[in-house]
Amino acid sequence: MPKIQIFGGGIAGLTAALLLEKQQQDYQLFERQSHWGGKLQTTLRDGFALDHGFQVIQSAYPALSVFHRQGYLDDSRAFGAGAWLLVNGKKTLLADPLREFPRGLAALGHPSIKLTDMWQVIQLRNALLNQTPQSLFSMEKTTTMDYLQQRGFSSAFIEAFFRPFFTGIFLEETLDTPSAMFRFVFWALAKGKACLLPGGIQTLPNRIVADLNPTRLHLSAQQTAVDTNNTVSPHRSTQVHYFSVDTDLGLGKFIALNAEKHGEINLLAVPSAVQVGYAPKNKHLLCVSMKPGSSNSLKPAMDSKAVHHAVEQLLGVNIDAQWIDSIQVNEALPTDAPYVYQTEKLDFSQNETVDGVSFNAFGGLANPSLNAAILSGEQFVAAVNSRQTTPI
Ligand SMILES: Cc1cc2nc3c(=O)[nH]c(=O)nc-3n(C[C@H](O)[C@H](O)[C@H](O)COP(=O)(O)OP(=O)(O)OC[C@H]3O[C@@H](n4cnc5c(N)ncnc54)[C@H](O)[C@@H]3O)c2cc1C
């Protein structure tokens, strides 16, 4: 059998390793850094779990089924289906009226939300839920902003909800991201839930690693056959600040969006209100995610006092909060993905040697999502399996 090598211990490489392990195939997994998980990283500090960037697991992603089968997601817990809109120190809950009835109707009292916008949300929800995830990528090829305008959403609603909400997902404010990605994320939110695992986002890769044969795993070991400096694509960055607080600040399980045009903060969340293990007993973790800059022209980090003050302004109350840490993620999301659901066929011609086949599981995703990363790992294993009838 050909020797199988996987380079990259993010979720793509780990998925490939898990599938090969289950098939009892021989493989070796090499990760350049000294920890597993790639973009799924959590720092544990004084009982708090600090994710490197605000990140959730969309339960409806079809590719997650491999992890559902393993039971890795059984104890995931969901954010509420909606968000607080923060304006002038006041908060209004914009919740999915079908899932959060009657709370979801409260948003109609908000000056930026018209009945027609709520109706459009329901229409969009129904239209997308009737599609397969694959077909969401082959519909209109517009930017997200053009798509929202074409769907008839008012600019007040786009500014109050869609812009801050999808800025937090795309890590860009203009909503230039292809509408295919918007449809896929909106579809996933409508179909499933935005979830957290106990103890942070890195729990997922940690659970995979625990099921792999340790003799096949190599940290601080990189693929040198390719010039990684030339293969690293431009990325969007993100910055989060973490505070210890005594209460959930009234936000509960809903994220809170800065629905004002100004200010450096994009969103607030209290992950410990959703999932245990994000904060020690009797404490809560406040996550403050900032508006994005690009990795080349980062806005200067606000110091923790200024962030604390900005949070108080947004919430309209003084809060007792102790700063824990601030985390900058420079290579958060690649900017140059093709935005397709899945690569047609993995091209291994670059990766074959006389005695084996390798998978460069870093970058080059069909779209910047966990779904695409998992699919790429699965595609590699499928390709390996189909080759084993005709060894290289
Ligand atoms: C802040 C943030 C928020 C996000 N939010 C979401 C979200 O809500 N939903 C969603 O679906 N996705 C989200 N994503 C994207 C998602 O996390 C990524 O798409 C996914 O984790 C990518 O996995 P990967 O394995 O393809 O790549 P990576 O996680 O980048 O892993 C690649 C690994 O390869 C290693 N490597 C690189 N070069 C070499 C080499 N030469 N040899 C050996 N190893 C090498 C790297 O060190 C890295 O560990 C978010 C990402 C971030 C950072």
pLDDT digits (tens, 9 = 90+) for 172-191: 999 999 999 999 999 999 99
Question: Residue 391: what pLDDT?
Answer: 47
pLDDT digits (tens, 9 = 90+) for 338-348: 999 998 766 55
- For residue 120, the CA-to-ligand 1 centroid distance in Å is 34
Question: Residue 294: what pLDDT?
Answer: 43
> Residue 279: which H helix or E strand, with range?
none
The strand pairing partners of 321, in sequence order, are 245
Distance CA 365, CA 376 (A): 7
Q: Give, to the nearest 10 degrees, the angle between helix 179-191 and helix 163-170.
A: 100
What residues flank ligand 1, with Cβ below 6 Å? 7-13, 30-33, 38-40, 53, 55-56, 58, 169, 222-223, 228, 238, 329, 332-333, 361-362, 365, 368-371, 373
- What is the DSSP code string of 374-389? HHHHHHHHHHHHHHTT
pLDDT digits (tens, 9 = 90+) for 210-248: 999 999 999 999 766 655 545 567 889 999 999 999 999
Output phi, psi for 206, to 5 deg.
-60, -40
Question: Residue 350: what pLDDT?
Answer: 55
Distance CA 321, CA 211 (A): 39
Give the position, in ligand 1's atom list, of the atom nearest the Cα of 224. Answer: 41
Question: Residue 387: what pLDDT?
Answer: 77
What b/e sequence results for 10-30 when a residue is b if at least 16 CB atoms lie within 10 Å of its CB, and e otherwise? bbbbbbbbbbbbeeeeebbbb
Nearest CA to ligand 1 atom 53: 332
Question: Residue 96: what pLDDT?
Answer: 82
Q: What is the pTM of this model?
A: 0.94
Residue 271: pLDDT band with limits 50, 70, 90: very high
**Range with the poorest average pLDDT among 248-262, 294-308, 330-344:** 294-308
Nearest CA to ligand 1 atom 5: 55
- For residue 362, the CA-to-ligand 1 centroid distance in Å is 7
Mutate to test the pocket of ligand 1, among 51, 55, 229 (most ligand atoms within 8 A of CB): 55
- For residue 312, the CA-to-ligand 1 centroid distance in Å is 33
**Structural domains of the chain, with CATH:** 3-40+202-229+337-385 (3.50.50.60), 100-192 (no CATH)
- For residue 55, the CA-to-ligand 1 centroid distance in Å is 12
For 327-355, what is the mean pLDDT? Answer: 79
Specify whether the CB–CB gap between 294 and 171 falls below 8 A: no
Residue 194 vs residues 55, 76, 154, 187, 244: alpha-carbon distances, Å: 9, 9, 26, 12, 23
Give the position, in ligand 1's atom list, of the atom nearest the Cα of 14. Answer: 25
Distance CA 379, CA 63 (A): 11
Residue 280: pLDDT band with limits 50, 70, 90: very high
- For residue 364, the CA-to-ligand 1 centroid distance in Å is 11
* Residue 276 DSSP one-character state: T
Specify whether the CB–CB gap between 6 and 361 falls below 8 A: yes
- For residue 170, the CA-to-ligand 1 centroid distance in Å is 14
- For residue 251, the CA-to-ligand 1 centroid distance in Å is 29
- For residue 139, the CA-to-ligand 1 centroid distance in Å is 26
Mutate to test the pocket of ligand 1, among 187, 341, 370, 376 (most ligand atoms within 8 A of CB): 370
Distance CA 244, CA 281 (A): 12
Nearest CA to ligand 1 atom 50: 55
For residues 315 and 109, which has the higher predicted lDDT (pLDDT)? 315
For 90-114, what is the mean pLDDT? Answer: 83
Nearest CA to ligand 1 atom 1: 53
- For residue 84, the CA-to-ligand 1 centroid distance in Å is 29
